[in-house]
Structure 1
Amino acid sequence: MGHHGIHHVTAIAGPARRNLDFYTKVLGLRLVKKTVNFDDPGTYHFYFGDEAGHPGSILTFFPWEHVAPGRVGVGWTQETAFRVPEASIGYWAHRLLEKGVAHGAPEKRFGQSVLTFKDPDGTSLALVGVPEAGNDPAWTDGGVPAESAIRGLEGVTLLVEDGAKTGAILTDVFGFRETAQDGSLVRYQGDATIGATVDIRSAKGFLPGRMGGGSVHHIAFRAADDAAQEAMVKRLAENHGIRTTEQRDRNYFRSVYFREPGGILFEIATDAPGFAVDEAAGTLGQKLKLPPFLEPRRSELEAKLPELA
């Protein structure tokens, strides 16, 4: 498996319990990690993904109980797509209808079957049918049959004014390749098995997006290790005049952040150490995990965080 791809996508949600129920009980994803926003520890940070929380499978949320709705627009992520076996699109159309989730009619993009829908906060999502996805690992204890389960992220669609500048970051820094064009969409592909697709839509004159419920906060791209991350940081500065933040320890990966030319917040996250660093793989997501610097505040934070039971 290659390392050029998306590590995770982080979005904003409303009530924590509603967010948790939708992604585990409707989409059948595993709650890989239940922790807090390290920069705002009175808020949960949920990580949903496959059984092991592989890079490329993870969609994360900051759930704020009374968040105002966001707005998709220029300078934001337009859609986040999951990867499913191609034959399961019909199953998912039925399941979403059964669960009371409105969805669009199946459509074709780049020759693939795509089923669009939204979560309770208005996050724009899609399921993409991929013939070989049945060979990918999946979480099979989420109420979805193994042959239909989500395999991870397929990718994201970005809405920016000048897609060429964003595309230059993807190819020169993150190791993606421009592979196809479909109408106003330009596709860039990494070599990872999951989370390896970024579609860019250039749209001049559209309203800018607004942060809030249903909007994507940032997209994290994979770095195999600290050295690979450092090389990306150097290339960003030397070739594109963009400087990142200092490296921040997120317990499960180490990160740097920057705004790409279209205004979207990008992160570069290391694959290591992974989500099993502070709990056994078999019990991922069952207990509230805190970083060492917040552990002394556990009682205070547990009293402040919304009830999930």
Structure 2
Amino acid sequence: MQINGLHHVTAISGPARRNLDFYSRVLGLRLVKKTVNFDDPGTYHLYFGDADAAPGSILTFFPWEHAAPGRLGVGETQETVFRVPEGSIGFWAHRFVEQGVPHEAPLKRFGETVLSFRDPDGMRLALVGLAGVEAEPYWTDGGIGPENAIRGFHSVSLLLADAAPTAAILTDVFGFAEAAREDTLIRYAVKGTQIGGVIDLRVAGGFLPARQGTGSVHHIAFRAADDAAQQEMVRRLVQNHGISPTEQRDRNYFRSVYFREPGHVLFEIATDIPGFAVDELAAELGRSLKLPAGLEAHRAQIEAVLPELA
């Protein structure tokens, strides 16, 4: 059965070691894959997720140490939101104070308690407290117990000049439907999807366009069960919306096509298969540097230029 929703979110960070420390120790996420940017193999590509490295839990980074800070603007992901147990928001607020993490006071959004914060590069993140998620897969690290651990993505919000063209893609291609409206936010959701099943569109006409850099989301990826499901999504994009994605690209752990949606956010359609355990045991994910076959002959040169992570 096709499960729709987010597959992963990819962002740009500064120093790799700082990025790894924050997401593994402060947030307690699992490092599920340590590889390189296939288009820039002198740079890491770090993947963080839950215990199962499940689609819908994966946040990835290109750590470009000397990149300039990004500027939030129209045509970009504004905030990436994780799910946590409903009673854990107080724990996280206290932890952010202890760890010196910039954060805002909790507030209600669509009836749910949301705690917004930023990572060391200024990336906009949030936690939303939800009832009934305690039994879902989690990873515990950095002294975070199962009663407080993150359970994958809740949503992303996109900052747009006009919501309607993007909404047409979400509904026709990815199976979302409008669920609610609040202030300038329009919520789209996929019925029956537990993790990564919500996209919020924030209409903000007149803002400057986004400028990508550290702290920016590079792209967001939506799930396709397999190649056939991906091809059906591509067919709808071409036939119904006049958008032609890139050719399919093999990313080892999924196969991807990319396109700019009408609001200028870079979207990816990524297959669930073959998954992150294709080149290492599930119990050993993230422990060693993994390279695609085409780069394996250059391992020594690549390892020589990558910064130390520990």
Q: TM-score, normalised by structure 1?
A: 0.99
Query: Contact 2:88–2:129 (CA<8 Å) still a contact in 1?
Result: yes
Q: Give me the whole-angstrom Cα distance separating, in 2, the residues matched to 1:132 and 1:73.
A: 35
Compute the displacement of 1:136 (Å).
1.4
1:94-105 mapped onto 2 (5 Å cutoff): 94-105=94-105
Compute the displacement of 1:141 (Å).
3.8
Q: Which amino acid aligns with 1:298?
A: R
Deviations 1:222-280, CA, capped at 9 Å, x for gaps: 00110000000000000000000000000000000000000000000000110000000
Compute the displacement of 1:134 (Å).
1.3
4+ residue runs over 2 A deviation: 140-143
Query: Contact 1:2–1:193 (CA<8 Å) still a contact in 2?
Result: no
Q: Which amino acid aligns with 1:83?
A: R
Compute the displacement of 1:143 (Å).
2.4
Q: Indicate the residue corresponding to 2:296 in structure 1.
A: 295
Q: Give me the whole-angstrom Cα distance separating, in 1, the residues matched to 2:155 and 2:60.
A: 14
Deviations 1:167-188, CA, capped at 9 Å, x for gaps: 1100000001110001110000
Compute the displacement of 1:192 (Å).
1.9
Query: Contact 2:46–2:61 (CA<8 Å) still a contact in 1?
Result: yes
Q: Which amino acid aligns with 1:297?
A: H
Deviations 1:284-304, CA, capped at 9 Å, x for gaps: 000000000000000000001
Q: Indicate the residue corresponding to 2:275 in structure 1.
A: 274
Q: Indicate the residue corresponding to 2:197 in structure 1.
A: 196
1:130-141 mapped onto 2 (5 Å cutoff): 130-141=130-141
Compute the displacement of 1:203 (Å).
1.2
Query: Contact 1:101–1:118 (CA<8 Å) still a contact in 2?
Result: yes
Matched, 1:183 2:176: no
Deviations 1:121-169, CA, capped at 9 Å, x for gaps: 0000000111122121101244210010000111100001111110110
Q: Indicate the residue corresponding to 2:240 in structure 1.
A: 239
1:65-76 mapped onto 2 (5 Å cutoff): 65-76=65-76
Q: Give me the whole-angstrom Cα distance separating, in 2, the residues matched to 1:2 and 1:134.
A: 24
Deviations 1:64-114, CA, capped at 9 Å, x for gaps: 111100011000000000000110000000111111112100000000000
Compute the displacement of 1:50 (Å).
0.2
**DSSP-derived class of the 1:93 partner:** helix
Q: Indicate the residue corresponding to 2:154 in structure 1.
A: 154
Which deviates more, 98-107 or 226-235? 98-107
Q: Give me the whole-angstrom Cα distance separating, in 2, the residues matched to 1:228 and 1:132.
A: 30
What is the root-mean-square deviation of aligned Cα atoms in Å? Answer: 0.9
Q: Give me the whole-angstrom Cα distance separating, in 2, the residues matched to 1:266 and 1:280.
A: 30
Q: Indicate the residue corresponding to 1:63 in structure 2.
A: 63
Deviations 1:171-224, CA, capped at 9 Å, x for gaps: 000001110001110000123210111000111110111010000000000001
Q: Give me the whole-angstrom Cα distance separating, in 1, the residues matched to 2:251 and 2:279.
A: 12
Which deviates more, 184-193 or 37-46? 184-193
Query: Contact 2:24–2:141 (CA<8 Å) still a contact in 1?
Result: no
Q: Give me the whole-angstrom Cα distance separating, in 1, the residues matched to 2:77 and 2:141.
A: 30
Compute the displacement of 1:2 (Å).
5.7
Q: Which amino acid aligns with 1:147?
A: E
Q: Give me the whole-angstrom Cα distance separating, in 1, the residues matched to 2:71 and 2:240.
A: 32
Query: Contact 1:12–1:213 (CA<8 Å) still a contact in 2?
Result: yes
Query: Contact 1:229–1:269 (CA<8 Å) still a contact in 2?
Result: yes
Q: Indicate the residue corresponding to 2:305 in structure 1.
A: 304
Count of aligned pairs between the two proteins: 309
**DSSP-derived class of the 1:229 partner:** helix
Q: TM-score, normalised by structure 2?
A: 0.98
Q: Give me the whole-angstrom Cα distance separating, in 2, the residues matched to 1:232 and 1:142.
A: 39
Matched, 1:107 2:112: no
